[in-house]
Amino acid sequence: RIFLFAIDEIIGGCFSGKYRWQQGLRHQLGISKGDRLIGMTWIRLIFKLLAWSVGFLLFLQLWGLPETVEKVLHGYLVDGFTLGGLLIAPARIVFGAFIFACGWTAVSWFKMQLEKRWLRHAGFSQSAQETLVTMTGYCGFALAVIIGLSSAGFSFSSLAFIAGALSVGIGFGMQNIVNNFVSGLIILFERPVKRGDWISIGKTEGYVQKISVRSTLIQTFDRSDVIVPNSELISNQVTNMMLNDNFGRLIVPIGVAYGSDTELVRTLLLEIAGNNEQVVNDGSAPKPLVLFLAFGDNALNFELRCHLVNIDKRLAVKSAINYEIDRAFREHKISMPFPQRDLYIKEFPFPNKPI
């Protein structure tokens, strides 16, 4: 119990920085308060398993375990035993798991430092940084798995058999998993979609929150999280509002009453667009344009078309422009009509019926 308590205090305390020396260690390693190294959980479990195992062996010795049984038990644990032609060595398996956990912890720490410190001043774009961090994590995880399997005594000469088994599994039931995995790699390298983009796919529209190997997390405008398989982003048509830049066009339809001064309407709309700070007026995108589209049934139909600095604020800009249009039209007594219908009731004579 004392050993288990020491493990919880030393290893478990590193998660929260319980003691001052643990806080100093986290600070020296560049680990913030909310950061967690997943491999540390495995290291903690392995140490607990070892503690229970050592305690059990000590109990057996105190109980008076015969020397021959002790040697047999030691041989099973260290040298291993054969099960169906497969050599199983528990001690080597635990050691391999420990090596894997240490490697996973090192990879997690390296990813954390790469993302928070080393790449910030490297001059890479945000999307390139995310791709580099993600691929570093995958490569490091694969390397940790290989080293852990080697330490556990796994023979890589049987990789051909495993590859054959995987091909059979892919053929029968893993097509979607492999398809999403390959699609995730394509997305990470080509970057048709990146975190923070406003995209629309099918009936789902929102912001990309996270791109993993299997799926992409999209947060809709009503704050719902939608998990989209990566294969759909590759095989289906995707609209990315912010692929190359944040510019985007806004169209505001307006209808005015017949007899209104059309030149005044045009002047007011251009003035309203020019006074909005989100509307591009410096020539880096097409300047605001007013189109007289049609003589409608009840109104003269216009459209104000302008490009925005940040399409992400499209709805807010449209609302602000509509407020200004209503204020300016009231001030200049330009009316905006609504559909009207005139009904004429015609009386038909009814023949006299006998009572």
pLDDT in tens, the chain (355 residues): 554 455 555 555 555 555 565 556 565 655 665 556 666 666 677 767 776 676 666 666 666 666 666 666 666 666 666 665 566 677 777 778 888 888 888 888 787 777 777 666 666 666 667 777 777 887 888 888 888 878 777 766 655 556 666 666 656 556 777 788 788 878 877 778 888 888 999 888 899 988 887 889 999 988 889 999 988 888 888 888 877 777 888 999 999 999 899 999 999 999 999 999 999 888 778 889 999 999 988 899 999 999 998 888 888 999 999 999 999 999 999 988 877 667 777 766 656 655 5
User: Which of 172, 145, 173 lies closest to 159, judged by CA?
Assistant: 145
Summarize pLDDT for 286-305 with one digit per residue, the tens: 889 999 999 988 899 999 99
Task: Report if pTM > 0.75.
Answer: no
Summarize pLDDT for 245-288 with one digit per residue, the tens: 778 889 999 999 998 999 999 999 999 999 999 998 887 788 89
> Which residues on adjacent β-strands are paired with residue 305?
251, 289
The helix (run of H) or strand (run of E) holding residue 303 is strand 300-308
| Helix axis angle, 126-151 to 175-190, nearest 10° | 130
User: What is residue 15's predicted lDDT score, i.e. its pLDDT?
Assistant: 55
**Cα separation, 112 vs 251, whole angstroms:** 43
Alpha helices in 157-312 (DSSP H): 159-172, 175-190, 230-235, 262-275
DSSP string, 43-58: HHHHHHHHHHHHHHHH
Residues 128 and 45: beta-carbon distance below 8 Å = no
